Structure 1
Amino acid sequence: MEMSVPNAVTATVTAADPAVNSICPSAPRRGALYKIRHDGKTSYLFGTIHVGKQGFFPLEPEVTRALADASALVLELDTRAHKPFEQALAKYGSYPAGDAITRHLSPYALGQLNKALAKAGIALANVAMYRPWLVANILVGSEIEKHGYHRSNGVEGFLLSTAIEQKKTVHELESADYQLSLFASLDDAQQERYLLENLEELENGRAVQKSAGLIDAWSNADAARIAVMARELTSGDSVSATFMDRTLLGKRNPEMAAQIEQIMRTDQIAFVGIGLLHLVGDNGIPELLRQRGYQVEKVY
């Protein structure tokens, strides 16, 4: 999902400076890159992060060459399309007119939220119309940005600017409506729990620590640490971990694998850039494609 790693809601990103699109032989390996083959067709699968730093670009030459060889770029969402995201956000992230978050939280949760908003310099009135999951994601995303990780430096922006420069077709695996509808599957009690869990991790520093840890593992292509971070983010009985494990990954990975199969049935060589956590473990997309009879080679 196009999220500030790992929790913040999908946000429109600005393409990275086209000046960084040139191949840099000394660029370090970042993320994870796979080559997928089936019936004489080849595509590439690359693990992305949705926030980053300008210094992360250009990407490693093998990634740059793979993208150059591709006829199409495939992302979870085409982040240039603002209107569908705004419509989905209004549909799933906001209360109807006349309703507000204050009517859906316990006194304790509302008190914790007020403390967090005051610390972040955000007035309750500015987020009162938003549902708890969205407020939680806004607060986490804001804190991550304070530590130097910005949506404008997300990998999708760099890939999009490169693909546009190379006049490639851009496809989406999902829609903004579908992605944000997943959060609507949480009932009021689960959303309050999700909010409180994220507020606690903001207060004790774990939210930034986990996000920064995953970003650092991506920036060094550290497969072992990526696997450790994935387990940490999906283990335990918290609403956040369960939602990540069962819904954001467990539900979507098979759907994405099926979409990639459809894409590879065409004559296009696709470069598929999706969130790093979708590539990890026995239920990750590389393993799901192997199970479907695809030859999957991990380039790095």
Structure 2
Amino acid sequence: MFCSLLALLLSPVAAHAENSGTRHGALFKIEQSGRSLYLFGTIHVGAADFYPLEPQLAQLLEQAPVLALEIDPLGDQQALAKVVQRYGMQGRGGNAPVLSASWRLRLERLLREYHIEANSVAAMKPWLLASVLTISEFSNQGYSTALAVDAYLSQQAHKRGQKVLELESAESQMALFDSMGGAQQLIFLQEAIAGIESREQASQARAIGDAWRHADAAALEELASKAEQDDSYSGRFVQKVLLEGRNPALADGMQRLMQQADNAVAAVGILHLVGQYSVPELLRKRGLKVERLY
């Protein structure tokens, strides 16, 4: 469930610079027909020591004619609220499946742990509630949506007066989650609850955060391999729908961007940039030159 939607849901704001500018994430240079695109892997939460970004990337961002993000976190919040209402909230008078009494007790315990009022999430569809629980567990591990990398990049670009391009939309992302039927959404939610209870989600949050923090290419590829082998319902949904299903369109958008602007920067979630079905691999198979800078 690690996509930019999660950061958008909690309205992230820009981060404050505190570190010395070490390498984070992953950076690729894409070339075709004499034009270049720099592709940076982000994480949709953050920590104070993520900033400032390392000098090479900071210079590329400053000089870029365009910054392309999955979604601009500083975009129209009223429009986002409408999309959340449409895709993430239960309709009145519906017959949506509900958690059993035992699962409800387990959910209520987690809500108390995360200091979330039950009434504030009562109208959420199971997929959205599962997403809130997941981002809450990342918060428990020391990460914050208020320090999200996407939000930092967006704010810096807007300050510079740069054009910020969206490769996707909140509606397109939320529609993917809402494509699950009610029973499937319950499984999605139950697996999220079970993953938090077993500490598997905490372990994954730490692994993703540490791999991104240290620009650890081997650790990132290992995370991709594990995701590809995850046979749970939610694991298959994340891998096949949220990652592999979106990567071709993201690659299309980057190729269009290269035709419009030279030396632009595209920044998308790091999990879209690793593994055998990643955006860089798709671009490489299409004949573009792909160089991993770190």
Judge same fold: TM > 0.5, yes or no: yes
1:139 aligns with 2:133: yes
The alignment partner of 2:252 has SS state of helix
- In structure 1, which of residues 247, 252, 271 is the aligned counterpart of residue 246 of structure 2? 252
Aligned to 2:235: 241
CA distance in 2, matches of 1:117, 1:100: 24
Question: What whole-Å deviation, never above 9, does each CA across 1:123-149 have from its counterpart, x for those lacking one?
Answer: 433211101111111122122213320
Listed as ranges, the gaps of 5+ residues in structure 1 are none
1:156 aligns with 2:150: yes
1:96 aligns with 2:95: no
Aligned to 2:67: 73
Determine if contact 1:73/1:169 at 8 Å carries over to the other structure.
yes
Q: CA deviation at 1:100?
A: 8.1
Question: What whole-Å deviation, never above 9, does each CA across 1:83-103 have from its counterpart, x for those lacking one?
Answer: 2221111111101124586x5
Aligned to 2:14: 15
Determine if contact 1:88/1:177 at 8 Å carries over to the other structure.
yes
CA distance in 2, matches of 1:162, 1:125: 36
CA distance in 2, matches of 1:150, 1:115: 22
The alignment partner of 1:281 has SS state of coil
Q: CA deviation at 1:30?
A: 0.7
Determine if contact 1:9/1:137 at 8 Å carries over to the other structure.
no
Q: CA deviation at 1:10?
A: 4.3
Aligned to 1:39: 33
CA distance in 2, matches of 1:94, 1:207: 24
1:86 aligns with 2:81: yes
- In structure 2, which of residues 269, 291, 294 is the aligned counterpart of residue 297 of structure 1? 291
Q: CA deviation at 1:9?
A: 7.0
CA distance in 2, matches of 1:55, 1:298: 23
Q: CA deviation at 1:109?
A: 2.9
What are the residue-to-residue correspondences of 1:190-201 with 2, within 5 Å? 190-201=184-195
Is the deviation greater in 174-183 or in 163-172? 163-172
CA distance in 2, matches of 1:265, 1:177: 26
What are the residue-to-residue correspondences of 1:116-135 with 2, within 5 Å? 116-135=110-129
Determine if contact 1:100/1:130 at 8 Å carries over to the other structure.
no
Question: Normalising to structure 1: TM-score of the pair?
Answer: 0.91
Aligned to 1:169: 163
Q: CA deviation at 1:268?
A: 4.0
Amino acid at match of 2:89: S
Question: What whole-Å deviation, never above 9, does each CA across 1:148-205 have from its counterpart, x for those lacking one?
Answer: 2001111112211221222210000001100100101111121111111111111122
Aligned to 1:183: 177
The alignment partner of 1:34 has SS state of strand
CA distance in 1, matches of 2:188, 2:51: 33
Question: Normalising to structure 2: TM-score of the pair?
Answer: 0.92
Cα distance change, pair 92–253 in 1 and its aligned pair in 2 (3 A): same
Determine if contact 2:138/2:202 at 8 Å carries over to the other structure.
yes
The alignment partner of 1:271 has SS state of strand
- Percent of aligned positions with the same letter in both sequences? 36
Cα distance change, pair 123–163 in 1 and its aligned pair in 2 (3 A): closer
Aligned to 2:56: 62
Question: What whole-Å deviation, never above 9, does each CA across 1:34-58 have from its counterpart, x for those lacking one?
Answer: 1111111111000000111111101
How many residues are matched?
291
